[in-house]
Structure 1
């Protein structure tokens, strides 16, 4: 039976209740109430405990780029030309790693039978903006370099990211659509993306306590990521405030209701549609931010990962 949450006033889905109850029983302190070092440890442990199990794959290989790493998950036993998935993890540009999203990337590779390339971009505050977007951009070009060390012959790519990673995917899709020599990016998947760091949407006033990610957490992330004086409405920071170009690749945008980011995600899906982009938008009442890194414990999260994989398959055939 779905219950109304005493903090948000919104439903809590039955299959999400146990994970949320454990968080609240442990003290219910949101991410921003800890030090950077501690919050990274908590996020690593939480993703390990609640994330998808590690699907076995033909090969998993790490590569070092210029100050950061990427991991190539390849489910194939035979090589050759192939589409690929370029994945950007969430964590507010402050936390997250290859390990926090390992199970999710493995599952996407297994379900799509495509190589998934996860970007372990540098984190703030040690490496503030624009380090994360610079690394992500470099990784995308590295992926398409036919003579590169990864050995993949990539014909086209789908950009995928959750939360802050969704912002990185959206920014790269927008930039690529306006360049004179665009790379073959054929789709984008934005899972509860963080696309407006002016924090001006109404849902910031609603989701303020009772969840790991609340409005003040976004501000804490932004303050660590963005140097003082940076325009928070800039296109590579808040893509939802940008006039979107024509010719963007088809998008699958997912939002969850108990999330300060829900309104900006919905607004961004609408903006994509207004720009002439093919958009599949899915809103999930009863769920909170972090659904996909808790998909090993929340069945609905695992089901949506299946749907994401189907979307990717449909656009890479």
Structure 2
């Protein structure tokens, strides 16, 4: 016999739609910059609410192009507003600099591999793009000029999001993607590492935890989670920066993404960073500045905005 219906109206347990939630109070972390920290953009079932920080000018002068920054942390950890250790001492910080250059910045959470396997984080970033579009009028955003930017695992997710973004109405339009030292071809990670340094049969690697299985045991899943497998001629412009001395994500992974984009007829600016390790470890301060400014210039070209605002 079927169980009787629950007497309590379970739909009352559902949270309000994030598109209608009130925005958080405004903070003023830097001169000329306002910050809306911890704005809920999604409430996945069985998971914590997902939030985004919004960095905006104190006095907006019309709808602004949007940079969506995706944090790294091996899909396992990380903070949404952290560009990495080489940027933590910057004053003003990276996002305040982008605001002063004429951009709005969104830094969304996404579900980590300990919470849900791929494609959950990709789904979250797509939801974030739709949420930004739904609230663009009240926030002063031109989501028709959105650029994704991610570092390490965040660069991998930014690339996947850019390559699979819905071109239809109801979401932001991705005009470009900047990728820093990110994995791009999970199936070929072992051959890009030194011999014996990476075991695709190990179910405890960060990549295996991302897809829910050892890479060798789930080749189709690994391929589906690889940006190189999602490249088409319709890809937005990409900038790929990768250190030649990267000891975590081999330099060849950056080359593979750039090569795939070129072969498909896409536009890609590939910038090898000589002597750079992961997170730009080992680079002089001025070269870290160059990496950042190169991305600001790329974002400006993608959005048709002067790099100086």
Pick the aligned partner of 1:171 from 160, 168, 184: 160
d(CA) in 1 for partners of 2:203, 2:265: 30
Superposed, which structure 2 residues align to 1:1-317 within 5 Å?
56-62=31-37, 63-66=39-42, 67-75=49-57, 77-101=59-83, 105-110=94-99, 112-146=101-135, 150=139, 152-176=141-165, 179=167, 183-200=172-189, 202-205=191-194, 208=197, 220-228=205-213, 230=218, 231-235=220-224, 237-240=225-228, 242=229, 244-259=231-246, 260-291=249-280, 298-317=285-304
Question: Counterpart of 1:253 in 2: which secondary structure?
Answer: strand
What per-residue deviation string (whole Å, max 9, x for no partner) do you get for residues 40-68 of structure 1?
xxxxxxxxxxxxxx865521112012221
- Judge conservation of contact 1:55–1:106 (CA < 8 Å) in 2: no
d(CA) in 2 for partners of 1:206, 1:90: 26
Q: Closer, same or farther in 2 for the Cα pair 1:180/1:153, shift >3 Å?
A: closer
Question: Counterpart of 1:287 in 2: which secondary structure?
Answer: coil
- 1:112: how far off? 2.9
Question: Counterpart of 2:68 in 1: which secondary structure?
Answer: strand
Q: Closer, same or farther in 2 for the Cα pair 1:243/1:314, shift >3 Å?
A: closer
Q: Closer, same or farther in 2 for the Cα pair 1:302/1:122, shift >3 Å?
A: same
The unaligned stretches of length 5 or more in structure 1 are 1-53, 209-213
**Alignment RMSD:** 3.1
Q: Which has the larger radius of gyration?
A: 2
- Judge conservation of contact 1:112–1:310 (CA < 8 Å) in 2: no
Q: Closer, same or farther in 2 for the Cα pair 1:249/1:219, shift >3 Å?
A: farther
- 1:166: how far off? 1.1
Question: Counterpart of 1:290 in 2: which secondary structure?
Answer: helix
- 1:284: how far off? 1.1
Aligned residue pairs: how many?
Answer: 254
d(CA) in 1 for partners of 2:31, 2:187: 41
- 1:218: how far off? 11
d(CA) in 1 for partners of 2:163, 2:273: 26
Question: Counterpart of 2:257 in 1: which secondary structure?
Answer: helix
- 1:201: how far off? 5.6
